Every structure is written in C-alpha cells, then in structure tokens.
C-alpha cells in the first residue's frame, strides 16, 4: 500500500487539530450555525426589494403600465420567500440561544415580511425625497439618474431604511446583516436602530458612522467622515441609555466632525464645521467652527 506523501499527512494532521479545537472549552464555536440566517440570501432579498423601490432604474426590460405589476410581483415573490426563511432562522436561533428581547416567536416571519411589503409605497416616497435632497444639495449632480445609479449614500440609506423597519419589528440579526453589507460596499455605517428623518443626504459619504440610538431630524446633511457616536458606556447599561446624539431639523455637519453622547443635542438649523469635536449640546441656529472655536447664534 502506497504511503501518503508527507504534505498530505501534515494536511490531515492539521484538519484533525481544527476538529479537536471544537471539543475544547472555546467560548465561540457555533456548531449550530446551520440555523443562522444566510447572508447571501438576505442580500439577494434586499436586492429584489431595491429593484421594487426603483423599478424604472433597475429593470432589465422595458416597463409599461401593462407589465409593471408583473415585474413588481416577480421581485416581491422572490424577496418574500427568501426573507421569510431568513427571518425564521434568525428568530429560531435567537430563541434557542436565549437572547430574544422581544415578543416575536418563530412563525412570525410571514407577518413581518408582509408588513414590510405594505410599507413599500411609503418607503418609496421617503426615498424619493432623499434622492431629491441629494439633487438639490449637490451642485455637481447632473440628474436624478446619476444620483440613484452612482451615489453611495443612496445605496446606504436605502439599505438602512429597509433594515430599520425590520429592526423596529424586533427582527434579530437580519437588519444588521443588511446595513453592514451596505457599509462594506459604500463606507457608510448606519445602524439599523438609528432614527433618521426625511430628506436625508450624505455627501461623498466615506467614513460616516451613525450609531444605534442616534436621532436625526428632517433635512439634515452630513459630509464624509462624520461620526455620530457614543461616549464610553459600561455594557450592562447599554440597553438602558441613549448613547448617541440627537441632530435636529435642518442641521449641516461638515467633513470629519465628531459628535458624541446620548445627551448631546444639536439644535435645529445649526452648522457644525469640519473636524469639530463635540460632546455638549448647542442651541438652534448655532455655528460651531473648528475644534476650539464656536460662534453660537440663536
């Protein structure tokens, strides 16, 4: 009988070592991960929903009033089956691990997805307003088509708004998969738990971070590198506290600014300059310029 070459014996020994590591006292082994949501399936479902939200832009064939319903139905049925299964996996796994903080139970997936689909007309209106804000707020934008096809903020905000609806419904894990995928593609990190108002625009976008308990009003504009983050909070208190700032209506935050803390409120109509570091509230109409300069106007 032929002896296996040394490299194969070493490979087999390495495989045995990996298998043995799963029987040790490692805290994270997750052999039950078969029950976890499948990331690719979640993203495929979101791509179908994005097509429904912007049918005229992502359709692969000409659309008319005669075939529109059929085209929408194709995407909705595909997204429905994918998303129901992945939400069921998330709910089942979360309950199995004893982590659930909401009243949802396995078997809720169909109702959750139907609620999401019922919200799509309203979501389309909100996203149309976001795109219009981008067009009105960026002199470099030549047309709406350019914004929808090429602006990373549109992809990030679309993913966030879908994920936020699922987050509010109490779905575990899936909303984060959606927003982190958008983060990996666009460089814009919006937590699905953040509360973002209408006509929201992120210009350029790379490096923007918006935390879970952030509240953003209407007509807010952020530039690249803005962080709406948290001050250090002990983990046992995280679920009890608002950790991220509130940005009121009509605020502009320029590139590189960092605004931290759950008690920090940026008053309506304020302008926060580039590279400002803020851990305190400012009244409406303020202008905060530079790291150590401020000109607050009521």
- What are 217-238's pLDDT values in tens digits? 999 999 999 999 998 766 555 5
- The helix-helix angle for 109-118 and 120-137 (nearest 10°) equals 50
Given the structure tokens 């209407």, which residue do they identify?
Answer: 218
Mean pLDDT of 8-36: 74
Residue 258 has pLDDT above 80, yes or no: yes
Q: Where are the beta strands (DSSP E) in 173-220?
A: 189-190, 195-196, 201-202, 209-210, 215-216
Residue 133 has pLDDT above 70, yes or no: yes
List, as one string, the DSSP characters of 37-57. PPHHHHHHHHHHHHHHHTHHH
DSSP β-ladder status, 258-260 and 195-196: unpaired
Residue with more model confidence, 283 or 11: 283
- What local confidence, expressed as pLDDT, does residue 295 receive? 47
Give residue-wise pLDDT tens across range 53-94: 998 888 778 888 889 999 999 999 999 999 999 999 998 887
CA pair distance 57, 69, nearest whole angstrom: 16
Residue 294 has pLDDT above 80, yes or no: no
CA pair distance 298, 293, nearest whole angstrom: 16
Give residue-wise pLDDT tens across range 152-179: 999 999 999 999 999 999 999 999 999 9
Give the range with max mean pLDDT: 14-18, 104-108, 166-170, 290-294.
Answer: 166-170
CATH number, domain 194-298: 2.160.10.10
- What local confidence, expressed as pLDDT, does residue 147 receive? 94
Residue with more model confidence, 217 or 97: 217
CATH number, domain 34-188: 1.10.3130.10
Give the range with max mean pLDDT: 56-60, 65-69, 136-140, 244-248.
Answer: 244-248
- What local confidence, expressed as pLDDT, does residue 292 receive? 45
CA pair distance 176, 123, nearest whole angstrom: 19
Q: Could you state, in order of their start, the residue ranges of all structural domains in the chain?
A: 34-188, 194-298
Give 204's contacts (C-beta < 8 A, 6+ positions apart): 223, 224, 255
- What local confidence, expressed as pLDDT, does residue 3 receive? 61
Share of the chain above pLDDT 90, in %: 70
CA-based angle 48:51:52, to the nearest 5?
Answer: 90
- What local confidence, expressed as pLDDT, does residue 39 receive? 95
Length of the chain: 298
Mean pLDDT of 145-151: 93
- What local confidence, expressed as pLDDT, does residue 34 receive? 52
DSSP β-ladder status, 252-253 and 221-222: parallel
Task: Specify the pTM.
Answer: 0.87
Would you state the structure tokens that stand for residue 28, as one six-digit string? Answer: 């994270």
Beta-bridge partner residues of 265: 246
């Amino acid at each position: 009988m032929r002896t296996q070459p040394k490299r194969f014996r070493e490979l087999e020994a390495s495989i045995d070592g990996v298998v043995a590591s799963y029987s040790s006292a490692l805290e994270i082994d997750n052999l039950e991960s078969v029950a976890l949501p499948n990331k690719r399936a979640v993203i495929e479902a979101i791509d179908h929903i994005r097509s429904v939200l912007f049918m005229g832009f992502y359709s692969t064939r000409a659309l008319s009033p005669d075939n529109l319903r059929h085209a929408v139905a194709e995407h909705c049925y595909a997204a429905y089956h994918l998303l129901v299964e992945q939400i069921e996996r998330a709910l089942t796994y979360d309950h199995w691990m004893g982590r659930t903080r909401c009243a949802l139970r396995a078997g809720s997936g169909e109702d959750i997805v139907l609620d999401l689909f019922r919200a799509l007309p309203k979501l389309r209106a909100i996203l149309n307003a976001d795109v219009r804000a981008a067009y009105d707020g960026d002199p470099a934008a030549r047309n709406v088509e350019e914004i929808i096809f090429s602006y990373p903020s549109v992809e990030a905000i679309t993913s966030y708004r879908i994920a936020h609806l699922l987050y509010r419904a109490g779905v575990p894990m899936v909303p984060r998969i959606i927003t982190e995928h958008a983060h990996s593609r666009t460089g814009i990190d919006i937590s699905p738990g953040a509360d973002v108002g209408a006509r929201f625009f992120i210009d350029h976008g790379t490096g923007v971070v918006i935390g879970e308990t952030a509240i953003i009003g209407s007509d807010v504009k952020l530039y690249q590198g803005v962080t709406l983050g948290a001050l250090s909070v002990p983990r046992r208190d995280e679920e009890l506290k608002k950790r991220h700032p509130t940005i009121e209506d009509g605020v502009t935050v320029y590139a590189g600014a960092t605004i931290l803390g759950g008690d920090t409120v940026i008053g309506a109509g304020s302008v926060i300059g580039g590279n400002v570091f803020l851990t305190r509230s400012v009244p409406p109409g303020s202008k905060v310029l530079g790291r150590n300069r401020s000109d607050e106007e009521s």
